[in-house]
Structure 1
Amino acid sequence: MQKAIKGLVVMSAELEDVFHSMMVGKVPSMWAAKSYPSLKPLGSYVSDLIARIQFFKEWIFSGIPTVFWISGFYFTQSFLTGVTQNYARRYKIPIDHLGFEFTVMNSENSMSKRPDTGAYVRGLFMEGARWSREDKVIAESHSKILYDTMPIIWLKPGDESNFTEAQTYVCPVYKTSARRGTLSTTGHSTNYVLSIDLPINVTQNHWINRGVALLCQLDD
């Protein structure tokens, strides 16, 4: 880009798009084509990218984290598959029989040790409602607060035939607030991640009408 501005190389259409995008604080389309989904402006996008690199750097040099930053994965489904594969190998259960149970923990950011099975994850935001720390259920949003940061969630793999039914809202998790994506070559959505069962004390339709969902990242 600097060479193109100085006239040392040809200013192609792609470089011109990068230049104009940077001028208005937008992620260049050339970058977005190779990037994870993001609706953040350029400055926040770069900060988020650095945070992701730091997360994996600490994982490499300090060992497996106690709590995984689920928002930091490029292909989140591979992480979820890895969690179920570890459980399947440990207990000799076919992976096709496995699913997740979910427990919202009291801690917001850290845990003293890793769980015996499954994984702790953080970094999710609830849109359309909030998580009541007192009642441990989904509750109405506070006035003028659009998003609520979720506490740590325990993803517990297990045989789906042994799961007990409870009054829950099947809350979809998306990478961005766009809530839409396309099917990749792996058969997974580029935006939808999974659905998390969260306890409720009203009907599920109430929260469906509210459009409640969990997001891996915000737009700012």
Structure 2
Amino acid sequence: MTYPFSIGDLRDSSLVLFNYLETQNAVKVPWDDLRYIFGEIMYGGHIIDVRDRLLCNTYLDFFMQDRLLDEAELFPFCEGRDGVSFRTPAPQSYERYLESIEGMPQETPLAFGLHPNAEIGYRTQQCNELFATLLQLQPRKASAEGGAGSQGGQMHAEQVCHEILEEMGDSRFDIEEISQAIPDEEKGPYQHVFLQECQCMNVLVTEMIRSLSELELGFKGELTMSSLMEDLAANLVLDKVPPSWTKLAFPSTRPLGSWLGNLKERIEHLQEWTKEPLTLPKVVDLSKLFSPQSFLTAVKEVASQQHQLELNKLVIVTAVTKKDVSSVDAAARDGAFVTGLHLDGARWDMASSCLEESRPKELFCALPVVHCKAELGSKKEDSGTYICPVYRTQQRGATFIFDAQLRTKYPSAKWIMGGVAMILDIGVSL
């Protein structure tokens, strides 16, 4: 999320700092007061997302301390790194301060507490956006370039349309048949969630078949090509997921080809459940669900019923196991085993069972099976646990699902500043 920070915020903060120190007779710098003024009012007043506010306060907690006046290391958690350092200059003249500022090292992700891999992801995103913009600038009817309106573009769109229809077949689920296989008295939270997943899949597949069948008739000259059909053909040529599908589908940043492959995997995942609808799968792939939140709510509902606990006081607690999907013999007795989680900004060390820094050029790390269960929430903070946000896609933001707990031997501030999160759909297979 982008916030309207400006040079005016910096100017006003410096004036507040100057006036505050001038009027205070205390021997020590009132860091707590200053952190509150800057983090909750001057800059924090712009911030509306709770995780962005946490990041802002973590930066302030790191920098605004007495050591800031005593040649402190300004690159977070970079102590001991060779050739990577920038320390606050000792008290000196104004001119010497300017010289120190001019001598600052080049901007690097390490200066913000990020892993160097963050620059790879950023540059890749810039590249993808550039090529996507170039494709959009391509004239719709430029026959020389093979656009959707050209003969070559139309042939390509027609071929893609036919291939999708042929591969998809009729992948819809018979909801009535599945419901009849589950007696009403045995329909629990998990059964309701998976029935809902099948219904969502049916709605999406129905729209795909309808729109592609119409487009195929349009190519044959049996229907007049409407603007919606032309837009659909253009998206097929550009390898983009059509908007009419996107609004009924799961959040995703994948191109069309990869999206279709992922859709097929989701259908297969649901088909496996329909074979034994009364039992919870040994391992549930959260990344293959339309609504992971609904499944996690079902975990809490089951725990509430089993242990006679208040539903609104329960939270999801996670524990990373040392198992992969193939080594899980049975479903969890309490909660559920889940997979499909990927660490972004860090990796999971299997030997020590805790977070570690990412390896060079390794952008994501697939987690082993994770045990999710519901427990009564506790306000007590554990210094050995990092509260890790889980998102559906790399866009993060509105795709937030829940907060997981991961063991760490480093302070949580390291991972907060490093932007460490778990992503369900990273767009590729690891």
Taking structure 1 as the reference length, what is the TM-score of the superposition? 0.91
How many residues end up aligned between the 2 structures?
Answer: 211
- Matched with 2:393 is 176
Q: How does 1:1-220 map to 2 (within 5 A)?
A: 1-62=215-276, 63-110=279-326, 111-161=328-378, 165-181=382-398, 191-220=399-428
Does structure 1 conserve the Cα–Cα contact (< 8 Å) formed by 2:383 and 2:412? no
Report the CA distance shift for 1:161/1:144 in structure 2 as closer, same or farther (over 3 A).
Answer: closer
CA distance in 2, matches of 1:99, 1:193: 13
Taking structure 2 as the reference length, what is the TM-score of the superposition? 0.47
Secondary structure, aligned partner of 1:155: strand
CA distance in 2, matches of 1:28, 1:46: 12
* Offset at residue 164 of structure 1 (A): 7.7
* Offset at residue 100 of structure 1 (A): 2.1
* Offset at residue 161 of structure 1 (A): 4.4
Higher relative contact order (CA 8 A, sep 6+): 1
* Offset at residue 167 of structure 1 (A): 1.5
Of Structure 1 and Structure 2, the greater strand share is in 1
* Offset at residue 160 of structure 1 (A): 2.1
Q: Residue type of the partner of 2:252?
A: S
Unpaired runs of at least 5, structure 1: 182-190
Q: Residue type of the partner of 2:422?
A: L
Deviations 1:95-151 (A, max 9, x none): 112112211000122311112111110011111111111111111111111110011
CA distance in 2, matches of 1:169, 1:162: 14
Does structure 1 conserve the Cα–Cα contact (< 8 Å) formed by 2:342 and 2:366? yes
CA distance in 2, matches of 1:9, 1:163: 65
CA distance in 2, matches of 1:200, 1:118: 23
Q: Which has the larger radius of gyration?
A: 2
Secondary structure, aligned partner of 2:224: coil
Runs of 4+ in structure 1 over 4 Å off:
161-164
* Offset at residue 166 of structure 1 (A): 4.7
CA distance in 1, matches of 2:310, 2:383: 25
* Offset at residue 214 of structure 1 (A): 0.5
Does structure 1 conserve the Cα–Cα contact (< 8 Å) formed by 2:280 and 2:331? no
Does structure 2 conserve the Cα–Cα contact (< 8 Å) formed by 1:17 and 1:29? no
Does structure 2 conserve the Cα–Cα contact (< 8 Å) formed by 1:101 and 1:197? yes
Q: Between the two proteins, what is the percent identity of the paired residues?
A: 30
* Offset at residue 15 of structure 1 (A): 1.2
Q: Residue type of the partner of 1:55?
A: H
Aligned-pair RMSD on alpha carbons? 1.6
